[in-house]
């Protein structure tokens, strides 16, 4: 990491910033990986509100990718990844509506539930969650072998720290 203990020079940050800026994410919203890295550089422990999110935060740091995790139980098929439409919003964890136009969003039958702007309250991971959707935001140009390595690492870390089993994968 570069001088002044800033994540700017860290491996992976430049590619993730480029990915984030290719979408219409407001500049005030930093990629989760960069926020996590800065917190660790500032001496804060890896956040672990629960075992799964803590394990995936370690995976994010090891692999230099942005990772998010969501409660899969309330999701209603079909799931899709698409660009947010004009006038469409996603209510973030704080209950604030975020404009999703031009930003990738994960959607189910009830509409957007997550993306780089945050996640809806209905999919937040908390005590008692038994099914999770794990999303890795990989930079453009990530080849198939690297993608597989990222997925293997996330799956291995989740199984090692949390038990359970992987139900499936989808690369978009």
Tokens 């990530």 belong to: 142
85-102: string of b/e by CB count within 10 Å (b at 16+)? eeebbbbbeeeeebebee
133-149 tens-digit pLDDT: 988 877 778 888 888 98
Asked if pLDDT for residue 20 goes beyond 80, the answer is: no
Q: Residue 2: which residues within 8 A CB-CB, separation 6 or more?
A: 8, 9, 10
pTM for this predicted structure: 0.73
Asked if pLDDT for residue 25 goes beyond 80, the answer is: no
């Amino acid at each position: 990491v570069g001088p002044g203990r800033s994540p700017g020079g860290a491996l992976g940050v430049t590619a993730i910033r480029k990915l984030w800026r290719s979408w219409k994410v407001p500049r005030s919203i930093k990629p989760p990986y960069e926020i996590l890295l800065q917190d660790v550089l500032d001496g804060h422990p890896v956040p672990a509100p629960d075992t799964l999110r803590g394990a995936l935060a370690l995976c994010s740091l090891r692999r230099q990718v942005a990772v998010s995790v969501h409660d899969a139980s309330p999701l209603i098929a079909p799931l899709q990844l698409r660009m947010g439409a004009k006038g469409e919003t996603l209510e973030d964890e704080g209950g604030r509506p975020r404009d999703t136009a031009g930003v990738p969003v994960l959607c189910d039958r009830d509409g957007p539930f997550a993306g780089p702007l945050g996640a809806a309250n209905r999919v937040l991971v908390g005590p008692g969650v038994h099914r999770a959707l794990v999303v890795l935001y990989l930079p453009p140009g990530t080849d198939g072998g690297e993608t597989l390595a990222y997925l293997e690492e996330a799956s291995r870390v989740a199984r090692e720290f949390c038990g359970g089993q992987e139900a499936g994968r989808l690369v978009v």
